[in-house]
Amino acid sequence: MLKLLKLEYYKNLNYRPFKIFTALYFAILTVLLFIGLVDLDVFGATINLKEQGIYNFPEIWNFTTWIVALLKIFLGLIIVFSISQEFTNRMFKQNTIDGLSRKEFIGSKLLTITIFTAISTLLVFIITLFLGYQYSTTTESAKVFEEIFFIGNYFVKLFTFFCFLMFLSVLLRKSMFVFLGFFVYWIAEGILTVIETFQKVRGLQEPERLKVMKDDFFITHLLPLESMSSLIPNPMMRLKTAKMMGLQYEFTYPVESLIACIVWSGIFIFGSYWILRKRDW
């Protein structure tokens, strides 16, 4: 464990893309969390997200984790660069010849992923607590911790996302291909979702259609990107403006998405290991 940690430390410490993106990520993350304090100019109207209640317990957990999760692509870039350079520099082969097992290789990358996810989660947790106690209308403990599960979901969401990128990096090996592959997959998943939805609601009239959309079970919702995004739903419905417009915010804890994410992480990790084993280097 310590050995793998040291390896990753030596490999990444002086790797420039790694340093740049790490610094950028944590800087932007911190700044973005304070976004509610400035007045935003949207279509000529001034919107202050703080006034809209994003810093109120318990919604704040939903808001902060959702906003910050948008930045995960930065950390994703680091993961992709750091893994794909092992292949483009033929270092995976060299490490293997030097006596690093495939398991240890995957283990060292998982360690990096876990550390990044943990630091990011911890940072969001601390800043959210700070902002909440500073600006929330209520600070009763019950309200404060009511939706703290979003922090856990955030961790799972990031971890699954990075495992997915690790899998793509091992599969495609060049960072350019990984990004292409990711976008192709993103679009493919979108198309599949549309197809399934279309098949379910075809020929149905308005009230039934809504009912099907709401209550039916969609297989495509269990696909990686979809289940990741349902872990933290878009919180814009919880803005005061949205509430005033009469939009209902309904939230049931996405158990099946959570399970799907954990299963996908497992598949990605073992898939990566399997590819490393089976391929000739």
Partner 1 sequence: MSVKNLTKKFKRTVVNNISFDVERGNVYGLLGPNGSGKSTTFGMLLSTINPTSGDWYWFGERGTQPDTLKKIGAIIEQPNFYPYLNAETNLKIVAEIKGTPHTRIDEVLKTVGLLERKKDPFRTYSLGMKQRLSIASAMLNNPEVLILDEPTNGLDPEGIIQIREIISNIAKQGITIIIASHLLDEIEKICSHVIVLKEGNSIYCGRVDEMTANNGYFELKADNNTQLLSALEELQWFTSVKTEGEIIKAQIREDASISASALNQKLVEKGIFLSHLTKKKLSLESQFLELVKNTNYHA
Which residue ranges make up the site for partner 1 (CB under 8 A)? Answer: 3, 6-7, 10-11, 14-16, 85, 89-91, 93-101, 104, 278, 280-281
Give the closest residue to 272 by CA, choosing from 116, 104, 118, 85: 104
Closest contact distance (angstroms) between CB of 179 and partner 1 is 21
Cβ nearer to partner 1, comparing 31 with 97: 97
Burial of 151 by CB count in 10 Å (0-12 exposed, 13-18 middle, 19+ buried)?
middle
Tokens 């009511």 belong to residue: 146
φ, ψ (nearest 5 deg) of residue 93: -60, -45
Burial of 203 by CB count in 10 Å (0-12 exposed, 13-18 middle, 19+ buried)?
exposed
Cβ nearer to partner 1, comparing 183 with 281: 281
Cβ nearer to partner 1, comparing 11 with 174: 11
Cβ nearer to partner 1, comparing 89 with 138: 89
d(CA 161, CA 4): 22
d(CA 87, CA 83): 7
Closest contact distance (angstroms) between CB of 103 and partner 1 is 9
Closest contact distance (angstroms) between CB of 116 and partner 1 is 20
Cβ nearer to partner 1, comparing 108 with 121: 108
Closest contact distance (angstroms) between CB of 2 and partner 1 is 10
Distances (CA, A) of 79 to 25, 93, 201, 259, 278: 12, 19, 40, 24, 22
Closest contact distance (angstroms) between CB of 162 and partner 1 is 22
d(CA 217, CA 144): 32
Cβ nearer to partner 1, comparing 79 with 158: 79
Closest contact distance (angstroms) between CB of 98 and partner 1 is 5
Give the closest residue to 171 by CA, choosing from 257, 276, 252: 276
Closest contact distance (angstroms) between CB of 17 and partner 1 is 10
Cβ nearer to partner 1, comparing 16 with 214: 16
Tokens of 209: 């259609």
